[in-house]
Amino acid sequence: MQEDITVYVETPAGERIAVPAPTDMGLSLMEVLKASEFNIQATCGGMALCATCHVELLEGPELPEASDDEMYMLENLPNLTNHSRLSCQIKVTPALDGTVLRVMADFE
């Protein structure tokens, strides 16, 4: 059983940073990014109430549709894209291996 996957965070300069993420702990992408010291505030603690964990998915699998709560928070963001998601709502699974994303706080 695969325990760790790698997601990649693209910086404003276009560099891609590999971030290892365990799949056996039930973590969200937000928790992994925050633990890896990316610019994720997670003010609400992962409840989809603040949008301070906004990411843009550049490459990766089709994710489950965003919940109404997540969509409501995303709709209020000034830098919303067609690929915006709240990282607190994305569970780390083997399917995310190789996903490339941007931490949108870096692009404000």
Q: Write out pLDDT tens, residues 62-83.
A: 999 999 999 999 999 999 999 9
User: What's the pLDDT at 2?
Assistant: 62
pTM: predicted TM-score of the whole model, two decimal places = 0.93
Domain span including residue 38: 4-107
Residue 4 has pLDDT above 90, yes or no: yes
Q: List the CATH number of the domain containing 50.
A: 3.10.20.30
Query: What does each C-alpha distance from 74 to 67, 69, 84 come to in angstroms?
Result: 11, 9, 7
Q: Number of structural domains, the chain?
A: 1
User: What's the pLDDT at 38?
Assistant: 96
> By the 8 A CB rule, do 39 and 61 touch?
no
Residue 1 has pLDDT above 80, yes or no: no
